[in-house]
Amino acid sequence: MAKIDNMMAILWMLNAGRKITAKQISEKLEINIRTVYRYIDALSASGVPIISETGHNGGYTLLNNFIDSPLLFDVDEQTALLHAADFAKEAGYFSGEALNSATSKLKIYSTQEQEKMVKQQLEGLEVISPIGKLSMEPILKKLEQSIVNETSVEIEYHTSREEHTKRRIVDPYGILYWKNNWYVIAFCHLRNEMRSFRVVRIISIIQTEFTFNRPKNFSASEFFMKNLLPKVEEKQKLIPLVLSGKTSALDNLCQHWFLGHHFKERTSTKVIFLLEEEAIHTYVPNLLLPYGKSIQVIEPISLKQKIIEVLYELINYYQV
């Protein structure tokens, strides 16, 4: 562990409010006791009010009312950071090694009482990672570096519609995580437009010497969601989509990533969305099918016929 890390660890131990000996510090940090003395002297020289007591019951403490450093996290803050780390790992966070190092420091710097309380809280919350999740850490790291340095990359990309991969130069503007997938928003020189690329479909990536200027105040999430949702030219073209059914099913529909953007009104027995007629007939049938008999379509009546058509298409497909 680096010198600054060890010194910070000692400061955390002293901040616990209990007397601690140089021997206890050396054992916990696994460093020579003479090194502990040097670190204590360095902290004192920097202005930390360390009180040293000699003798059989001697040790080190901090002066009362010493102003806490903002780097000294309390139990709730430590727990929140460790919970966040668990969620990041589940998402396939691409700086996992650094994240593990950071969380290990949190545990090292904690007092015994803090360790016990944090452990109890962590045992009450678990995150289950998806089975078979592919590691994209190398590609995500290169994309992040390209965004920071504003350098273009050459990627080999495979779309769901094309049989063969294509090489293209892109300028990465931002990375986002949505519905268990990583995406990079980039300007594609092959298509001469902004595009979103699913990272799992990037077969290879090569850094180039080309540079670009990232637009100020660019939001990757805003671009991504804007392109997911169908464009509405005029509000006059919107018609109501009225559904009734079980409360739990209606709750889920109101929180749906697509329908939630078109929510208008909700009662105890029904929910109303406002969409273009074409969007209702194109997107909504497949969204409603998983809900089965838990919902009913009130209007438009034409949506019922569209759902029947989709079901017949599935029947005919599986009968072949």
Q: Is residue 130 in a domain?
A: no
Q: Is residue 129 in a domain?
A: no
The predicted pLDDT at position 5 comes to 79
> Do residues 257 and 286 both lie within one domain?
yes
Q: Is residue 104 in a domain?
A: yes
CA 100 and chain centroid, separation: 16
Is pTM beyond 0.85 here?
A: no
> Do residues 161 and 183 both lie within one domain?
yes
Q: Is residue 96 in a domain?
A: yes
The predicted pLDDT at position 99 comes to 81
Give the CATH number of the domain where residue 210 resides. Answer: 2.30.30
Cβ atoms 242, 270 nearer than 8 A: yes
The predicted pLDDT at position 187 comes to 96
Q: Is residue 239 in a domain?
A: yes
Which residue is it, tokens 């072949």?
Answer: 320
In angstroms, rounded to a whole number, what is the distance separating the alpha carbons of residues 3 and 261? 52
> Do residues 31 and 102 both lie within one domain?
no
> Do residues 51 and 92 both lie within one domain?
no
> Do residues 242 and 307 both lie within one domain?
yes
> Do residues 219 and 250 both lie within one domain?
no
Q: Give the helix ranges, DSSP H, for 123-262.
A: 137-149, 220-228, 247-254
Give the chain's residues under pLDDT 70. 1, 64-73, 107-112, 131-134, 230-236
Q: Is residue 305 in a domain?
A: yes
Closest CA to 239 of 266, 286, 273, 282: 273
Q: Give the helix ranges, DSSP H, for 21-136.
A: 22-29, 33-45, 75-90, 96-108, 112-122
> Do residues 182 and 264 both lie within one domain?
no
Neighbours of 79 (CB within 10 A): 21
The strands making up 193-198's β-sheet, listed across from edge to edge, are: 193-198, 181-188, 166-178, 151-157, 202-211
The predicted pLDDT at position 66 comes to 62
In angstroms, rounded to a whole number, what is the distance separating the alpha carbons of residues 85 and 107? 13
Q: Is residue 68 in a domain?
A: no
Which residue is it, tokens 């079980």?
Answer: 246
Strand partners, 272: 242, 265
For the chain, what is the domain count? Answer: 4
Q: Is residue 307 in a domain?
A: yes
Domain residues for the domain of 30 are 3-62
> Do residues 117 and 143 both lie within one domain?
no
